[in-house]
Amino acid sequence: MPFSARPALLFALLAATAQAETPVVTVTATRIAQTADAVTAAVTVIDRAEIERTQARDLAGLLNGRAGLQLQVSGGRGKIASAFVRGTNSGHVLVLVDGVRVGSPGLGTISWQYLPLAEIERIEIVRGPRSHLYGSDAIGGVIQIFTRGSGSGSGPSRRLSLGAGSHDTRQVAAGWSESGDGFELDLGLSYFETAGFDATIGNHPDADGFEQSSLDLGLSRGFGRYGALRLGLLRTEGDNEYDGWQAESRYTNDFTQQVLNLDYRLPVSATWESVWQLGEYREQAADFTDGLRGFVFDTERRQASWQHDLTLGRDNLLNLGLDWSEERLASNSQYSRTRRDNRAAFVQFQGDYGAHRVNAAFRADDNQSFGVRRTGHLAWGRAWGGVDVSLSYATAFKAPTFNDLYYIDPWGSSGNPGLAPEESETFELGLRGEAGVGRWELRLFRNEVEQLIQWLETEPWVWRPDNVAAARIDGLEATLNRSWGGWSLSADLTLLDAKDRATGKRLARRAERLLRLDLERTLGDTRLGLTWRLQGETYDDADNLRRLSGHGLLDLRIARALTPQWELRGELSNALNHAYQAPAGYRGAERALFVSLAYATR
* Chain centre to alpha carbon of residue 111: 10
| Arithmetic mean of pLDDT, 504-520 | 97
Do residues 393 and 425 touch, judged by C-beta distance below 8 A?
yes
| Arithmetic mean of pLDDT, 61-73 | 95
- Alpha helices (H) along 127-218: 131-134
- Give the pLDDT band (50/70/90) at residue 436: low
- Tell me the pLDDT of the chain averaged across its residues: 92
What gap in Å lies between CA 592 and CA 554, rounded to an integer? 11
pLDDT at 524: 94
- Give the pLDDT band (50/70/90) at residue 286: very high
Query: pLDDT tens digits for 334-346?
Result: 999 999 999 999 9
Query: pLDDT tens digits for 473-487?
Result: 999 999 999 988 889
- Give the pLDDT band (50/70/90) at residue 9: very low
Is 1 a residue whose pLDDT tops 90?
Answer: no
Q: How far apart, in Å, are the Cα atoms of 92 and each of 8, 87, 124, 303, 376?
A: 29, 9, 16, 20, 17
What gap in Å lies between CA 65 and CA 85, rounded to an integer? 10
Q: Are strands 141-147 and 93-97 parallel, antiparallel or unpaired?
A: parallel
Do residues 82 and 552 touch, judged by C-beta distance below 8 A?
no
Task: Select from 298, 48, 30 the least CA-distant residue to 149.
Answer: 48
Task: Select from 357, 382, 360 the least CA-distant residue to 432.
Answer: 382
| Superfamily of structural domain 5-601 | TonB-dependent receptor, beta-barrel domain (2.40.170.20)
In sequence order, what DSSP letters do the residues of 530-541 get, joined into one string? EEEEEE--EESS
Element (H, E) at 54: helix 48-54
What gap in Å lies between CA 55 and CA 75, rounded to an integer? 20
In sequence order, what are the residues at sequence separation of 6 or more whose Cβ sits closer than 8 angstroms to the Cβ of residue 334? 407, 408, 409, 410
- Give the pLDDT band (50/70/90) at residue 76: confident
Element (H, E) at 60: helix 59-63
In sequence order, what are the residues at sequence separation of 6 or more whose Cβ sits closer than 8 angstroms to the Cβ of residue 600? 157, 158, 159, 160, 565, 567
pLDDT at 5: 35
Is 16 a residue whose pLDDT tops 60?
Answer: no
Cis peptide before 583 (omega within 30 of 0): yes
Do residues 260 and 279 touch, judged by C-beta distance below 8 A?
yes
Domain residue ranges in the chain:
5-601
Between 69-78, 147-156, 555-564, 588-597, the lowest mean confidence (pLDDT) is in: 147-156
Q: How far apart, in Å, are the Cα atoms of 600 and each of 123, 171, 176, 565?
A: 20, 16, 10, 5
pLDDT at 310: 96
- Give the pLDDT band (50/70/90) at residue 12: very low
What does pTM read for this prediction?
Answer: 0.94
Do residues 510 and 532 touch, judged by C-beta distance below 8 A?
no
Is 389 in a helix, a strand, or coil?
A: strand
What gap in Å lies between CA 54 and CA 68, rounded to an integer? 19
- The Cβ of residue 550 has, within 10 Å, a number of other Cβ atoms equal to 16
Is 561 in a helix, a strand, or coil?
A: strand
pLDDT at 22: 55
Is 138 a residue whose pLDDT tops 60?
Answer: yes
Query: pLDDT tens digits for 529-587?
Result: 999 999 999 999 999 999 999 999 999 999 999 999 999 999 999 999 999 988 888 88
